[in-house]
Amino acid sequence: MSHIRTFSELEQEAIKIYNEIKDKDLKPKDRMAIPQMDMPSQDPIIRGKNQQEVALGYTKEQAMVEAARCLQCKSAPCINGCPVSINIPKFLEEAAKGEFQKSVDVIKESSLLPAICGRVCPQESQCMEECTVGKSLKDKMKSVAIGRVERFVADLERETSEVKTPEIKPSTGFKVAVVGSGPAGLTVAADLRKDGHEVEIFEAFHKPGGVMIYGIPEFRLPKAIVEKEIETLKSMGVKFHMNFLVGRTRTIEDLMEKDGFNAVFIGSGAGLPKFMNIPGENLVGVFSANEYLTRSNLMKAYDKERVDTPIYHSKKVAVLGGGNVAMDAARMALRLGAEEVNVIYRRTKNEMPARAEEIEHAEEEGIKFHFLSNPVQILGDETGRVKAIECLKYELGEPDASGRRSPIAIKGSEFVMEMDTIIPALGNASNPLIKQTTEDLITNKWGNITVDENKRTSIKGVYAGGDIVLGAATVILAMGEGRIAAKTISEDLLNNKL
């Protein structure tokens, strides 16, 4: 493991470079010579015992130096990698000059949630993947750290200035219902409200925010940031109905026929956990990652002194899977006091879908990885509790349809590891409730709602976007879908198409 540099070392490095480059007319080769600014982070031993954010954020000098690495490419390929087409060179140019407010204003023309996306976007496979700097250095991880600068300017604005309530156009008299309060629903609500429509959000949980609140842990995304965005929506006049399960409390048809909504947007996400269907998955001590994380994040099970949310007291934990959800569950188990946390993944580290930064952080914190291994069964004791997991060893064969090499089981390679807790984190599918209670709503074979390119569903006046359409995807994609849907809804309402 490489040496983790301290906050002070990183700060000093940035100040030194900043003093060298400030007031200079930097040529592309000077910019290419600037090293990428590392993100300061909490010490792994300390953070493994707390819920506070791991990444501490750039200092002012770090943000300016990192932004100065941008070559201001005329064709700006990075913009093509951003699902909401933020004007990246422009916001970096402003940040490099220390014009932080102007920088965040540029971002906000395209993104509603920059402090959130700057933290959780899989940047290395989006904007950073296309960046000329990374391509020239033949390492996309060394591209301009676009999201880190985005996070810095958004945080600075939130911490130092009053939240501005966006301007709202005069009332149109139209009413829109939004089902679900994740990034898709919140974006639709904000954009429609700005256009002068009345907007009401219906959310099944007692707190709004979707996965940003119940799934992604505090140590990666502080909840106060999401809550502040929600406060802004409330100040704009968006109404929130919590503990409201559409499909049970009211159907989509009720909302339109009985409650007078002119349009409905469905942003109900993909919250249904997948299991492996292997023997032993019903034993006590097996939890879906969704349940485990919801108890910890939304129900604050980690705050043992103030809340009494039950959570299993684990010593040896196995998390099954290799995505962001698996990394979150593993790192949460560590923070909840587990003595040993193992991740079991059937391919190798190279094929893991989790963000590189999350894998690195998990390794630093002492999570053990068992690659090319896959569970066959979970073994229980006489009281019905988990006592071990049996796995098979795998090797990689030819690439499959996704381009990744398929894992092939090695006969006779079974091995058993003692465990008391198993957390399958194999991805999520869409919850079938809305489909089951909405006649004529067309979905695909995975249960995702079918929409046209403008997010219209098969029912007039009903739109959908985010994970319920894409399958489990990302925050920024859900936000982008919400943006398109809001535009369509507004146009349809104002042009009397409904």
- Confirm or reject binding of residue 221 to ligand SF4 (CB under 6 A): no
Q: Which does 247 bind (CB under 5 to 8 A by kind): ligand FAD, ligand SF4, none?
A: ligand FAD
Helix (H) or strand (E) holding 174: none
Task: Show the site string, 339-378: x = touches ligand SF4 by CB under 6 A, - = not.
Answer: ----------------------------------------
The answer to whether the Cα torsion of 313, 317, 320, 323 is positive or negative is: positive
The only residue of 10, 34, 70, 334 in contact with ligand SF4, by rule CB under 6 A: 70
Nearest to 323 by CA among 372, 276, 358: 358
Contact 95, 63 (CB under 8 A): yes
Q: Which does 179 bind (CB under 5 to 8 A by kind): ligand FAD, ligand SF4, none?
A: ligand FAD
Nearest to 145 by CA among 30, 25, 35, 23: 35
Our CA angle for 446, 447, 453, nearest 5°, is 95
Backbone phi, psi, residue 202, to 5°: -115, 120
- Alpha carbon distance 140, 323 (integer Å): 19
Residue spans of beta strands (DSSP E) within 400-494 = 405-409, 415-418, 421-424, 428-429, 462-464
- Confirm or reject binding of residue 68 to ligand SF4 (CB under 6 A): no
Which CB atom, from 71 or from 327, has the smaller least distance to ligand SF4?
71
Contact 184, 467 (CB under 8 A): yes
Task: Show the site string, 88-127: x = touches ligand SF4 by CB under 6 A, - = not.
Answer: xx--x------------------x-----xx--x-x--xx
Q: Please identify, among the stretches 80-88, 177-185, 406-414, 444-452, the one whose residues bind ligand SF4 according to the rule CB under 6 A.
A: 80-88
The alpha carbon of residue 294 and the mean position of all alpha carbons in its chain are separated, in whole angstroms, by 15
Q: How far is the CB of 99 from ligand FAD (least distance, A)?
A: 28
Q: How far is the CB of 151 from ligand SF4 (least distance, A)?
A: 8
Of residues 142-171, which lie at the interface with ligand SF4 (CB under 6 A)?
Answer: 144, 146-147, 150
Nearest to 192 by CA among 449, 486, 392, 476: 486
Of residues 204-243, which lie at the interface with ligand FAD (CB under 6 A)?
Answer: 204-205, 210-212, 215-216
Beta carbons within 10 angstroms of residue 73's beta carbon:
16
- Confirm or reject binding of residue 407 to ligand FAD (CB under 6 A): no
- Confirm or reject binding of residue 324 to ligand SF4 (CB under 6 A): no
- Confirm or reject binding of residue 80 to ligand SF4 (CB under 6 A): no
What are the residues binding ligand SF4 (CB under 6 A)? 70-73, 76-78, 82, 84, 86, 88-89, 92, 111, 117-118, 121, 123, 126-127, 131-133, 144, 146-147, 150, 476
